[in-house]
Chain A
Amino acid sequence: MFLITIKKRKWDELLDAAWLPKGEIQADPLGDLHPSEGSISIWWVDEQLLNLDDIIVALALTRDKWDIFEYGLFDSSIPGNLGLLVKETIGKTPLPQINHFHRDLVELTVDKYVQFIKGIFPQVQKERAYRDDIWEKVREARNKHLIDANLLNKKIRPLYDAL
């Protein structure tokens, strides 16, 4: 599976929106993934989700704060089926052992990007983790010595040290 960070509400299925023709998708998800230089950051997640918590921690720890962490999971075969290119690139998080799970969806054109959104929208598994749960995962990652505290940003570091 692949993980993308999302804002869940942008991916709602709007069953009661009179303006939205049946079977069509509102444009909101297009503005959610922020392609840059034709690429989107995604993370490879083990089918049994064994590395999921560590990836959530890795991404959360790149932020200044969090009350929620929202993400979507989609089948890793989708990009290939759509003819999209996935490139292995090393992530930049305070969890060095997790960074090799990072990928980029590259060479995206407008058409390919829209194709991608339409491809994942019907089946993306949308999730939201809450603050205390994330901190619990951070604690576990720390106990597994996955976190390099020196790589934490200065806003998170005091909170992390106080765990």
Chain B
Amino acid sequence: MNSEATPAKNSLISASTRANCWMLVSDWSSIHTPIGTGSGTFSPAQTRVENVTGMVLGYGKTGVLMNWETGFGDFFVDEKAEYGLATSPLTQLNKIQILGSKSNCRPLVSDVMAAGFSGNYISPNFGLGDMAFLSQMTYPQNFSFVSLQLTATSAAFRSRVASLLDAYAYFEFEEGIEEDFTPQVSELIRINALETIQAIKDEILTDRFDPEYVWNILRHLGGINDPRSRSERLLLLQEFLTHSSRWIRDGAALGLILLGESAARVSLQRAIDRERLPDLKADLSKALSYLIAKLE
């Protein structure tokens, strides 16, 4: 990251009073590189606020981040000229990273508090009390980089996933008919793939859903167009190939061929070898043949 970067005129920070400062807010779950200070690689969290289009409509208005690669949603600027994430369900992300930078800038903790986060925050670095404290602090004139991590519990987000699954648990999925379920799952994965996929897995493992419903969920998961979460979805689908329900094993296989990962070939072959139900064994074999043909 280049800490000397200058925000564009239309950036979020330029809408605030701290014209010489800039900050990054990103979905922590998208960051696979440990946070450091100073220069370093933060991919894919490099997206700076100035790269975002259509984000701020004005004080007290809500804008939508259209091009934020890290997957955040709404942004807002409130009447106190503070800014942060809007209090929408999108703020129920499990971890938020806030980076303040450049000399003569205070870290932007107060901005975060003004954003009105809900839920409980646990952090290796900061709690709410720490945030309040930090917001009063004056930092050395020459500090080059500050990294703050706010780690919300994932409970809020997981609860959102569970609610969605519950809402459709008794929905009659008519084969081939478009419904609202798939886009909603896709949206949750777009926001926080890791947390969504883990939550879906945990919810399925509670065994409270009809296996036919899970069959639909797994197929949808395989078909979602989200390259970033392919490996996580692959793992989940592979895991469910060993489930005790034939519907769920089948759904996992169908999800895998929709996902189209070559790594699924081995696990599908193992599933075929294990399968004792002749009808399903035949379907798994066809699924593998189809996948192989698709990959060629």
Contact = CB atoms under 8 A, between A and B. Distances in A.
Q: Are A and B physically bound partners?
A: yes
Interface of A: 5, 7-9, 11-16, 60, 62-70, 126, 128, 130-133, 155
Given A63-B177, A67-B219, A8 B283 contact: yes
Contact of B278 (A8, A15, A66): A15
Contacts of B294: 132
B82 interface: no
Contact of A66 (B176, B215, B257, B276): B176
Nearest to B276: A16
Most buried by B among A5, A7, A9, A126: A9
Interface size class of B (residues with CB under 8 A): 20 to 34
A65 B280 contact: no
B176 A12 contact: no
- Interface of B, secondary structure class, is helix
6 contacts: A12-B277, A13-B277, A13-B278, A69-B176, A130-B257, A132-B290
B253 to A, nearest CB: 11
Nearest to A7: B175
Interface string B271-296: 00000111110010010001000100
Interface string B111-148: 00000000000000000000000000000000000000
B27 interface: no
B146 to A, nearest CB: 48
Contact of B254 (A5, A13, A14, A68): A68
B195 interface: no
Most buried by A among B176, B223, B246: B176
A126 B277 contact: no
Contact of A128 (B212, B223, B278, B283): B283
Interface of B: 175-178, 212, 215, 219, 223, 246-247, 250, 254, 257-258, 276-280, 283, 286, 290, 294
Contacts of B286: 128
A60 B246 contact: no
A64 B182 CA distance: 13
B175 A64 contact: no
A64 B279 contact: no
Nearest to B258: A67
B280 A12 contact: yes
A60 B176 contact: yes
Given A63-B176, A64-B176, A70-B175, A11 B279 contact: yes
